[in-house]
Structure 1
Amino acid sequence: MSGGWNPITGRDSGSGRPAFSPYGAPQPAQGQAYIPHAGGPGYNFGTVPQYTTWPNTAYGYYPIGAAQGFPQYGMPAQGAFAGFHAPQTFAYQPNGTGNLLPRQPQPYPNIDPTMPAAQMTNTTGGTGCEPGYNYFFPAEHTKAHIFKTNTPPWQLPPTAQIPFKAAHIPCNTTMAELLKGFGCTNQTPKKNKCFEVVSGGGGKWYKGLEVNGADKDLLKKTIKDVGWDSTRTGNPNEKPVVCLWFCRD
């Protein structure tokens, strides 16, 4: 989950090393947050050979047979070009003259209001990890299927097809965080509710545990405290996946 989005440079192109590092340079992409160090007009599309003083390292050399219709280049033979190095070239800056990948205006990411916890806000004012950072995941998660329906699932007929979103939720998430993370932010706390939905077989669902924003004691508990832990895998002969339904009105 390294990389993310910020309002200045847009979507990160990858989590590779900075420019001039010998290995792992990021791949150029539209809206790239990094600038290839061996580049320029045409370089990102392979239309000219990659002259670099570090063959086979960050970007390597232009391989024979890499693109049809363009001159084919290989590594210089020993002796014939021994000691020859082409000067280092640089890519044009974003929106610079001749840049084949100009930076486009970056729209804000679409954040699902029913699951704002799917996005991580960073200090740049954007979402996702900041450039160069990775994410430290919690050690234990539970599997959850979040039903998306305006009608409580236990009131639907057995033949109803219920859309849902699947999520891994850290087991140390509190009930208060769970409600907020799935968009239950009504000004009246009691209207923010989460229900566990239990399968009765044959397409029928029943209402299980109920959590609302006014239950201060239950809001302090973690989802693991109520049995929503890593054992809820849904695998054969194991506990079923946690099924939840949220409402805020």
Structure 2
Amino acid sequence: MSGGWNPLTGRDSGSGRPAYAPYGAPQPAQGQAYIPHAGGPGYSFGTMPQHSAWPNMTYGYYPLAASQGVPQYVMPGAGYTAAQGPYAGYYTQQTYSYQPNGTGSMLPRQPQPYPNIDPTMPAAQMTNTTGGTGCEPGYNYFFPAEHTKAHVFKTNTPPWQLPPTAQIPFKAAHIPCNTTMAELLKGFGCTNATPKKNKCFEVVSGGGGKWYKGLEVNGADKDMLKKTIKDVGWDSTRTGNPNEKPVVCLWFCRD
């Protein structure tokens, strides 16, 4: 999860370090403003040395003004050395990156769309200090050590009032076990100004497609809001695997 989105440079598409970037610092991602060590706006304005098309040939360095067939040998310390070995005739040349949308940029960044945020689960996105979502460029995320599996039902009718043949859509989520009930309600969009209307229900399967109402939490129960989901048994043992505890099934409402 290294990378994210911010309103200045848009969505990060990778976490690779640019050429010639220093080590020992967060890795700049594509789209992040980065000033190369050489400085300057780049080749477009003639501030960088223009390399010849024929450096490091077998007989030395040919300047642009050299006559064909006349070898021009490089002076010691002049910056070029004669190529040796089987790779004579090939050379590497340092290139310089531009500022995104900056001076001399030939590939300006296009406007980036805002990320789609699900209002029923705002906790699916992480807000960063730039006002955007996801990790900031070069940062990774430290995940909690323990999670529970949860299936959150998406229905306007309470699941226990639906007929056994009803097909209920749901979203699956890993939820950190140290999440408090207050954070759980807020993270799933239960933000009604009237606390008592913000509710979470555990839904228990009765078999045959029938569901029953289990534990209820509402935003007015101050003692319950302080508890973590692990305190009520929604922990990493709720895997849904054969011969293990079932996945936690939840239904939220805020009106």
Quickly say closer, same or farther: Cα 1:77–1:201, change in 2 above 3 A: farther
Q: Is the 8 A contact 1:145 1:164 kept in 2?
A: yes
Look up the equivalent residue of 1:15 and give its one-letter code: S
Report the Cα offset of residue 13 of structure 1.
2.0
2:191 corresponds, among 185, 188, 213, to 185
User: Which residue does the alignment assign to 1:241?
Assistant: 247
Look up the equivalent residue of 1:225 and give its one-letter code: D
Q: Is the 8 A contact 1:189 1:214 kept in 2?
A: yes
CA distance in 2: counterparts of 1:98 and 1:118, whole angstroms: 35
Give the TM-score, by structure 1 length.
Answer: 0.75
User: Which residue does the alignment assign to 1:94?
Assistant: 100
> Does 2:200 align with 1:194?
yes
> Does 2:233 align with 1:219?
no
Q: Is the 8 A contact 1:11 1:33 kept in 2?
A: no
Q: Is the 8 A contact 2:151 2:170 kept in 1?
A: yes
Q: Which runs of 5+ in 1 are unaligned?
A: 41-75
Partner of 1:16: helix, strand, or coil? coil
> Does 2:12 align with 1:17?
no
CA distance in 2: counterparts of 1:113 and 1:160, whole angstroms: 24
User: Which residue does the alignment assign to 1:81?
Assistant: 88
Q: Is the 8 A contact 2:29 2:138 kept in 1?
A: no
Report the Cα offset of residue 85 of structure 1.
2.6
**Larger Rg over CA atoms:** 2
CA distance in 2: counterparts of 1:247 and 1:227, whole angstroms: 21
Look up the equivalent residue of 2:85 and give its one-letter code: Q
1:108 corresponds, among 107, 114, 123, to 114
Report the Cα offset of residue 34 of structure 1.
6.9
Partner of 1:176: helix, strand, or coil? helix
Task: Provide the alpha-carbon RMSD of the alignment.
Answer: 2.9
Report the Cα offset of residue 194 of structure 1.
0.1
CA distance in 2: counterparts of 1:98 and 1:19, whole angstroms: 17
Provide the identity percentage: 85
Report the Cα offset of residue 77 of structure 1.
8.6
Look up the equivalent residue of 1:248 and give its one-letter code: R
CA distance in 1: counterparts of 2:176 and 2:87, whole angstroms: 61
CA distance in 1: counterparts of 2:105 and 2:192, whole angstroms: 51
Report the Cα offset of residue 16 of structure 1.
2.5
Detail structure 1 runs of 4+ shifted over 6 Å in the superposition: 25-28
Instruction: Identify which range, 113-122 or 13-22, moves more after superposition.
Output: 13-22
CA distance in 1: counterparts of 2:33 and 2:19, whole angstroms: 8
CA distance in 1: counterparts of 2:146 and 2:87, whole angstroms: 59
User: Which residue does the alignment assign to 1:3?
Assistant: 3
User: Which residue does the alignment assign to 2:61?
Assistant: none
Quickly say closer, same or farther: Cα 1:98–1:124, change in 2 above 3 A: closer
CA distance in 1: counterparts of 2:19 and 2:92, whole angstroms: 18
CA distance in 1: counterparts of 2:137 and 2:29, whole angstroms: 14
CA distance in 2: counterparts of 1:170 and 1:176, whole angstroms: 13
Give the TM-score, by structure 2 length.
Answer: 0.73
Q: Is the 8 A contact 1:173 1:223 kept in 2?
A: yes
Q: Which runs of 5+ in 2 are unaligned?
A: 37-42, 44-82
Query: How many residues are aligned here?
Result: 209
